[in-house]
Chain A
Amino acid sequence: MFRWRVGTGIGVAAVVASLTLAACGSSDDDTTSAAGGSTPAATTGGSTTTASGGDASRDAAVAEALKYTGSTEGAADASKDPIGVGWANDDEGKAPAPQITAAVKAAFDFVNKDLGGVDGRPLKLIADRQCVLGAAEKQGTSCAQALLNNPAVDVIMVGYTPVGGRSLLATVRDNGRVPVIGAIPLSPEDMAAKSSFFTSGGPFTVATVATFMKDVLKAKTAAEIWPDDPAQTPFIEGFEKSLESLGIKVTSAYVPPDATDALAPVTAARPNEQDVVNVNPFTPGQCIADAKALKTLGVDKPTIAVGSLCLDPSVKAELGDYPKFILNFSYPVPDIPAPQTDAMNWALGQYSSDADKVAHGFYAPQYFGLALTLQKWLGELGADKDIDVKTLGPVITSFTGPIWGGAPTLKFGSPGTPAVGSFAARFAEYLGDGKWKYVSGWLNPPPPAS
């Protein structure tokens, strides 16, 4: 009996560690894609079969993608060495974004099954168990070490990493060997890193939002609703500087991180007295709280929501529909038809298990586009070349755009933010019932002063 209890005690010790564990959900070397290797998805998203037996939707999607990537139609050669892309993302935790991982996996399947890989070499997503982030900030260091230690990792791709990302990027951003690509820098240091390449400014796209307020909405006053989170200080500083430089007077209010109700902070910003309201949620839940408070207060001023968190399906589920906000996009709105958007929707329908959820999940379309852009970069480098910062870096920095579905032009090397290719965004307003309309073209003001 006592032996059992000793054993149980030890078992207890082991299991209790789970209190703080990071995720264990995905397998080591979670490979999506080597040609012919992975399982296609359940749906085929709106495919239509032509009289000749071909699939018109597929053909259109593939043609559109090939036009962009410059690759050759067909499956990649599974016998060739894959190009390893190390992947890190907050797939678990309080604000998980597994849809981004799903979008990248779908994009890699698309590349390997339909777009010929990189001169025949398949792209292989290497999702180390240590890189399923979201539980503890320390995980980022372990993940960075795992990726840098793995000789199969040719490129590191960093997703949405509010928990773990700072430790991760601090370790990899200047590693000097493996190129780091992403779309969401988290700090001014990330934007100035030597081994890193971000296709957009992520939350630092503040000058663009300010320009939209001034030039499109003709605003002179603005209510700013921020999460009361010091990690956002650089964004707040940059944004308020941009607004002041444009002559827009700001009244800011801050929602405490543990607030049960955003009504008071939203009221404190006096939204009904301003020309425009700007909310800056960093989780879908914050977007819901802001939207509910604005509705309670009967605010009918144009409301801009920075970032894509308000686009998450959970927001729609909570509020009955997405709030009728104006959102800034560095990627295509999945509900507005366009050739590249349609191609993305087809590929997600083909290669992910819940295409609608993935397409509408925050930042997922951006990473789908980044994956195709990576294929283009690698193709331009040449499949037979060594892949490192010295070889792929110049290909990326000389790339002038466009990003798949995103910014029309890119320019790396700007003073202060050399690692960011574009701060461009365009704005779309949600009209309700799944309808969107773009309310601006691409805006691309100078990047924020460092």
Chain B
Amino acid sequence: MRELIVFVLLGLGPAALIAGLAVALVVQYRGSGVINLAAGAIATFGAYAFYSLDSQAGWAAVPAIAGALGLCVVLGLALELILFRRLRSAPPLAKLVASLGLLLTLQAVFVLAYGPNPRAAPAIFSQGSDSTVQVFGSPIPTDRLWVAAIVVLATVLLSLVYRYTRIGLSTRAAAENEGAAMLLGLEPVRVSLYNTVAATVLAGGFGILVASQTQLDASTISLTIVPALAGALLGGFTSFAVSAAAGMAIGIGQTILVYAQARSWLPTMGGSPLPGVAPLFSFVVVVGALWLRGAGLPTRGMLREERLPAAPEAPAHAVAKGIALTVIAAVVLLIVPAAFRQAMMNSAAGIVICLSLVVIVGYVGQISLMQVTLAGVAAFAVQKLSVDAGIPFPLSPILAVGVAVLFGLAAAVPSLRLRGVTLAIGTLAAAVAIERFVFNNTTFGQDPSGSVLPAPDLFGLNLGPRADFPGWDGTLPSPVPGLICLLVTLGVALFVVGLRRSTFGQHMLAVRSNESAAASEGVNVRNVKIAGFAIAAGIAGVGGVMAAYSVGTVNAADFGVVIGLTFVAFAYLGGITTVSGAIVAGTLVPVGLTGVALQEWTSLSLNWLNLIGGVMLIYTILFYPQGIALATTEQARHVMARLQRRRGEPGPDAVVG
């Protein structure tokens, strides 16, 4: 028991950071309706600003803190005016993707400005062995206690401010009902500005406080966002006190798990502790909270909130066009250099995974952030089934897709009670838990040796990277697996086109549009959701199997949460409601066609490309919210209309009009 108390106290440092970020998330959400995935990165921004002013510019501590907080104010103003204000009426997924773009941008800026290695953040409080208190014989650094106290104090102050001051009451009114608030003379836009600045300063301030206890680098504090989201979720993105307490509890709980891992009574795996216990703990907390809350986050009473972009039916002759496109791609595959053959396979797998997002997000309207994780489930399953169980091709990939469907069905259960961003957070927590607890488990996930997957073999015919092909010059990979990938991609794409056109597809769109209305029309909402998750998981599973065979090894890192979020961003960028959007997105995925082309033809470093990519992601969200594919189609239609008008013919616009 004494040791337990010691570890509770030791956990106060990381717990304070989680709690502080959870509070900042609540402030941001209450003011602007944005769940800001970049809150941790903003904390890192504050820490780097303080480091620059104190350690690099030589300022004294107090002016440096004031200066760093001032920079946070500037950042908050910029974020509100450039980003969040423009997204006030955007769909929740657009806001989420925009905040992801912000996270990626800030991380790239940090690496460019300060390098990938950690920096020595100046300490606000004295550190070292002489700045500890002894608790049951163990030294507890006093700086952790101070930081925890400051977080508690900030939480109390915020609660009082939002309860008793005009700005606090205005925020609550605007969050409840924006229209009514405006009638009362309040200005929701101004309220949003104040809250965004406050959230930025809070996050930056907590970053300044904790940076000296941890590593000041681009990612360590930034990625604390997942447990912080869990804390904010438990507080319903409304209560500062509950969010802070939950954040503290999660942080302390994770520290106690670290303690338990060092004790012999905790189960081990090959002498090592079970991996991913801490994120699994966070996931259980999130799912428990979501299940108990059920109704999801309090809906902000926006005057107008846009829905997801339209999901138009595939154009006429879609099948013929798809086949023609595949033939063209096959020809390209045969003539491009070998590096691009591998890139095309990576892109084909990416297209299929993005198609799963089209089904579950674009058609059914359920924001799932775990489709790449489901692809990973299938990838590991096919490797284990092939190598460990000796199940031959093609039975092993079929069974592996079945395993992904089972996971997808499990994910569907919470969707019966949750929707929108709440479901997104639940699936994000699930993705983290599966990545750490399943993929990183050497028994049923990542083999430390690299999880090699033998090339597929059908009736003695090698279909892998060394498969014979007429005219092949022997450079790896052979065109054969690429051609198979193209055929599978075509098949899945045509299936999704058919799904959109089917009666069941109409039911999906009805559920996306309005669940109550769909139910009143006789649509079984529950079944549609469950089937939607299963179909999307199956498609993601196909993508995962393709990815596994195209690379020849299965690696947890290829199916990690950050990669998964990036896929969602790409899918949204391409157009998350259309097959053509998925094709655009597939070319953008990691080590895909566009990536390899840029790598081959430009000399920009990875860090500059990351920065440009993050900025462009935000730009696209702001100016092409419907996605590149639909935007391009619309622009092409306008061009055609203008040309036809010039010729005196009635254009499509005239017909529509």
State whether A237 touches B272 (Cβ < 8 A).
yes
A68 vs chain B, min Cβ distance (A): 33
Q: Closest CB of chain A to B119's CB: distance in Å?
A: 7
A319 within 8 A of B: yes
Per the 8 Å Cβ criterion, residues 309-337 of A in contact with B are: 312, 314, 317-320
Inter-chain contacts of B139 with A (CB < 8 A): 296-298
In the bound assembly, the distance between CA atoms of A13 and B475 in angstroms comes to 29
Interface string of B89-129 (1 = CB under 8 A from A): 00000000000000010000000000111111000000111
A166 touches B449 (CB 8 A): yes
CB pair B116–A187 under 8 Å, yes or no, is: no
- Select one of B132, B215, B610 contacting A289, CB under 8 A: B215
A-side contacts of B141, CB under 8 Å: 263, 296
Asked if A81 is an interface residue, CB under 8 A from chain B, the answer is no
Question: If the complex has contacts A166-B555, A259-B14, are A130 and B215 also in contact, measured as CB distance less than 8 A?
Answer: no
By the criterion CB–CB under 8 Å, are A187 and B476 in contact? Answer: no
Residue in A10, A139, A145 whose CB lies within 8 Å of B338: A145
Say whether A187 contacts B553, CB under 8 Å: no
In whole Å, how far is B85's beta carbon from the nearest beta carbon of chain A?
21
Is B371 positioned at the interface, with any CB of A under 8 Å from its CB?
A: no
Q: Would A138 and B591 be within 8 Å (CB), given that A9-B620, A92-B605, A263-B10 are in contact?
A: yes
Q: B176 interface residue, CB < 8 Å from A?
A: no
Contact B566 A24 (CB under 8 A): no
Q: Are the C-beta atoms of B574 and A13 separated by less than 8 Å?
A: yes
- The answer to whether A318 and B558 have CB atoms under 8 Å apart is no
Is B338 a contact of A146 with CB atoms below 8 Å? yes
Nearest chain B CB to A311 CB, angstrom units: 13
Cβ of A268 and Cβ of B262 under 8 Å apart? yes
Select which of A171, A187, A241 is within 8 A of B449 by beta carbon. A187
Least Cβ distance of A439 to chain B in Å? 25
Q: Which residue of B lies closest to A130 (CB)?
A: B339
Q: Tally B residues with Cβ within 8 Å of A.
A: 114
The answer for the CA separation of A186 and B442 in the assembled complex, in Å, is: 15
Closest to B604 in A: A24
- Chain A contributes a number of interface residues (CB within 8 A of B) equal to 96
Q: Which residue of B217, B449, B612 has the most chain A CB atoms within 10 A of its CB atom? A: B449
Which B residues are CB-close (under 8 A) to A305? none
Q: How many angstroms from the CA of A206 to the CA of B310 in the assembled complex?
A: 59
Determine the residue in chain B with the shortest Cβ distance to A92. B606
**A51 beta carbon closer than 8 Å to chain B:** no
For A289, the closest partner residue in chain B by CB is B215
Contact bitstring A294-308, B, C-beta under 8 A = 1, else 0: 011110000000000
A96 contacts the other chain (Cβ, under 8 Å)? yes
| Set A11, A134, A187, A288: member contacting B448, Cβ < 8 A | A187
Q: B68 interface residue, CB < 8 Å from A?
A: no
CB-based contact A145/B476 at 8 Å: yes
Contacts of A137 in B (CB 8 A): 555, 557-558
Minimum CB distance partner of B603 in chain A = A24
Contact of A22 among B116, B555, B606 (CB under 8 A): B606
CB distance from B190 to the nearest CB of A (A): 31
Centre residue among A167, A229, A236, A289 by max chain B CB count within 10 A: A167
**Does the CB pair B573–A228 fall under 8 Å?**
no
Q: If the complex has contacts A146-B338, A297-B139, are A20 and B13 also in contact, measured as CB distance less than 8 A?
A: no
Of the candidates B446, B592, B606, B616, the one whose C-beta lies within 8 Å of that of A15 is B616
A234, B262: Cβ atoms under 8 Å? no
Central interface residue in B13, B213, B614, by most chain A CB within 10 Å: B213
- 1/0 per residue, CB under 8 A from B, across A249-267: the answer is 0011111101111011101
| A3 to B634 alpha-carbon distance, docked (Å) | 11
Q: How long is the Cα–Cα vector from A14 to B598 in the complex, in angstroms?
A: 8
The residue in chain A whose Cβ has the minimal distance to the Cβ of B100 is A19
B405 within 8 A of A: no
Determine whether the beta carbon of A148 is less than 8 Å from that of B476.
yes
Interface residues of B in 436-463 (CB under 8 A from A): 440-442, 445-446, 448-450, 452
Residues in chain B near residue A229, CB distance under 8 A: 275, 440
Cα distance A16–B621 when bound, in Å?
Answer: 12
Contact between B14 and A18, CB atoms less than 8 A apart: no
Alpha-carbon gap, A226 to B255, bound state (A): 15
| Residues of B342-370 contacting chain A, CB below 8 A | 342-343, 346
Output the residue of B13, B271, B592 with the most chain A CB within 10 A. Answer: B271
Given A20-B566, A136-B591, A10 contacting B628 (CB threshold 8 A) = yes
| Those of A81-99 within 8 Å (CB) of chain B | 92-96
- Assess whether A260 is in contact with B602, with CB atoms less than 8 Å apart: no
Bound CA span A108–B605, Å = 24
* A219 is an interface residue with CB less than 8 A from chain B: no
Residues of A near B115 (CB, < 8 A) are: 314
Partner of A264 from B219, B258, B449 at Cβ < 8 Å: B258
**Chain B residues, Cβ within 8 Å of A319:** 120
* A141 on the B face (CB < 8 A): yes
| Complex: chain B residue closest to A11, CB-CB | B616
Residues of A within 8 A of B272 (CB): 226, 230, 232-233, 236-237, 254
Q: How far is the CB of B142 from chain A (nearest CB, A)?
A: 11
Query: Is the beta-carbon distance between A260 and B588 smaller than 8 angstroms?
Result: no
Residues in A with CB closer than 8 Å to B11 are: 264
Q: Is A284 an interface residue (CB 8 A)?
A: yes
In the complex, per-residue mask of B195-238: 1 if CB is within 8 Å of any chain A CB, else 0:
00000000000000010011101011101100000000000000
A298 adjacent to B632 (CB under 8 Å): no
Q: Does B450 lie within 8 Å of A170, measured CB to CB?
A: yes
| Cα distance A165–B426 in the bound complex, in angstroms | 33
Distance in Å: Cβ of A238 to nearest Cβ of chain B: 9
The answer to whether A296 touches B557, judged by C-beta atoms less than 8 angstroms apart, is: no
Contact of A188 with B594 in the complex, beta carbons under 8 Å: no
Q: Does A39 contact B (CB under 8 A)?
A: no
- Contact bitstring A190-232, B, C-beta under 8 A = 1, else 0: 1000000000000000000000000000000000001011111
With A258-B224, A296-B127 in contact, is A263–B13 under 8 Å at CB?
yes
Query: CA of A278 to CA of B551 in the docked complex: distance in angstroms?
Result: 36
Check if B50 is an interface residue, CB within 8 A of chain A.
no
Give residues of chain B (533-553) contacting chain A, Cβ–Cβ below 8 Å.
Answer: 551-553
Give chain B's interface residues, CB within 8 Å of chain A: 6-7, 10-11, 13-14, 17, 104, 115-120, 127-129, 132, 138-139, 141, 210, 213-215, 217, 219-221, 223-224, 254-255, 258-259, 261-262, 269-273, 275, 278, 338-339, 342-343, 346, 440-442, 445-446, 448-450, 452, 465, 475-477, 551-553, 555-558, 563, 566, 569-570, 573-574, 584, 587-592, 594-600, 602-610, 612-614, 616-617, 619-620, 623-624, 628, 631-632, 635-636, 638-639
18 A-B pairs whose Cβ atoms sit less than 8 Å apart in the complex: A6-B632, A16-B620, A18-B604, A20-B591, A92-B605, A137-B558, A139-B591, A167-B551, A231-B448, A233-B271, A236-B271, A240-B271, A253-B261, A260-B220, A264-B7, A268-B261, A318-B120, A320-B120
5 tightest A-B CB contacts, nearest first: A18-B609, A20-B590, A314-B117, A17-B594, A166-B450
